[in-house]
Amino acid sequence: MTAIPYLTVHDAAAALEFYAAAFGATVGERYDEPDGRIGFAALTVADAPVFVSDEVPELGAVSPRTAGCSTVGVVLQVDDVEQVYAAALAAGATSDRPPSPGPAGLSAWLVDPFGHRWNLVG
């Protein structure tokens, strides 16, 4: 059994660019809808799968921008928290909590430009 985050965003094309710049994500499969929306994109982020799509409100798939908040955080285990944190900020993320030591090691929280929260852990 595997759990895979499936992120709905307000601009999937821009999100794919952000995740590549911030986290080194690569895109595998990608399906574009006839109306121009990205219906599905499979990313690999730090050796883990993450799915992304544009909003499809008629099917109940809305982004944090439309919902007004994000109710889930994605934990991303990385080799260098400070480096990935800096790259994400440079790519357009905002800081929620800067890197700081904790019981499980160095950790940081940020919000991507699409409203999703990420916890970077080393």
- Give the end-to-end CA distance of the chain in Å, rounded to a whole number: 24
Please tell me the predicted confidence (pLDDT) of residue 93: 98
Please tell me the predicted confidence (pLDDT) of residue 1: 87
- pLDDT band at residue 97 using 50, 70 and 90 as cut-offs: very high
Q: Structure pTM?
A: 0.93
Round to whole Å and give the CA distance between 30 and 72: 23
- What average pLDDT does the segment 42-69 reach? 95
Q: How far is CA 36 from CA 5, 17, 33, 60, in A?
A: 23, 16, 5, 18
Other CB atoms within 10 A of residue 1 CB: 2
Sequence length of the chain is: 122
Round to whole Å and give the CA distance between 95 and 36: 31
Any idea what the Cα angle at residue 57 is, between residues 53 and 62, rounded to 5°?
A: 55
Q: Pairing relation of β-strands 48-54 and 6-9?
A: parallel
| β-pair partners for 94 | 111
Taking a C-beta distance cutoff of 8 angstroms, is the pair 84, 22 a contact? yes
Please tell me the predicted confidence (pLDDT) of residue 103: 85
> For residue 104, is pLDDT > 90?
no
Q: pLDDT for 4-38, tens place per residue? A: 999 999 999 999 999 999 999 999 999 999 999 99
Round to whole Å and give the CA distance between 31 and 39: 6
Going along the chain from its start, the domains and CATH numbers come out as 6-121 (3.10.180.10)
- pLDDT band at residue 44 using 50, 70 and 90 as cut-offs: very high
